[in-house]
Amino acid sequence: MDKYVIFGPQGSGKGTQSELLCEAFGWVHISLGDMFRWHMRHHTKLAARITRIMNQGLLVPDDIVEEVVHRRLEEHDWNWGFVLDGFPRTRPQAEFLFENWNLDAVIYLDVPDDVVQERVMARAAEGASFTKRFDDNPEALKVRLKEYHDKTKPLIELYDEKRLLRRVDATKPIQEVFDSILAEISKPKPSSFT
Ligand code: AMP
């Protein structure tokens, strides 16, 4: 079973690349954002706890996220493997993940800050009605970007220490990015480095 995390700033193509990987390898795409949005559409109990937070572009508290991830992975419908998209986003979430599952690698979709800023602002200018994402308004986008910088991006160091980080230039076209990911994940696994 292959266990991967895909990570990068908003607009780096995590969702698209996750889908391509799952199509190619039969893995399951586990997107925390999609799961939370499902709850909001269905007005579940969980939705009542997270709607305000998500609308503002803030991160959902770690205990809620960890419970959702734990339950999802306990379903064991991922015989070939999984790609976690949008998790972990904080240090405690990363520690929780490492305590429970052995990862093969973390695919980092690297996009320089100025390009992210441009993409994000272009998306905000298009307006929420175009993108259909309630949290794509300029205020929430700024908050999400700040959350990424403050809490998620620093995880690079941790992944690097664990020799899990596989960096890919995500400014390139979709197919090129995908090819680079394939090249990166075909390299020997971390355990065989030591
Ligand atoms: P995404 O679709 O991945 O951009 O996620 C949308 C929103 O869901 C984020 O802005 C957060 O409010 C929430 N979210 C998704 N994943 C996480 C996570 N791992 N930790 C905390 N909040 C999350």
Query: Which tokens is 42 given?
Result: 């269905």
Residues 12-57 pLDDT 10s = 999 999 999 999 999 999 999 999 999 999 999 999 999 999 999 9
Which DSSP state fits 60? P
CB–CB of 58/65 below 8 Å? no
pTM metric for this prediction: 0.91
Residues recognised as catalytic: 14, 89, 123, 133, 144
Nearest CA to ligand 1 atom 4: 33
Residues 87-112 pLDDT 10s = 999 999 999 999 999 999 999 999 98
Distance set, CA 5 to CA 17, 119, 124, 140, 150 (Å)? 11, 23, 27, 24, 19
Over range 61-86, report the average pLDDT: 95
Angle at 90 between CA 87 and CA 91, to 5 degrees: 115
Pocket of ligand 1 (CB under 6 A): 10, 32-33, 36, 53-54, 57-60, 65, 86-89, 93, 135, 144
pLDDT recorded at residue 127:
60
CB–CB of 107/58 below 8 Å? no
In 3D space, the residue among 170, 169, 164, 171 whose CA is nearest the CA of residue 187 turns out to be 164
Distance separating alpha carbons of residues 120 and 138, to the nearest angstrom = 9
Nearest CA to ligand 1 atom 5: 33
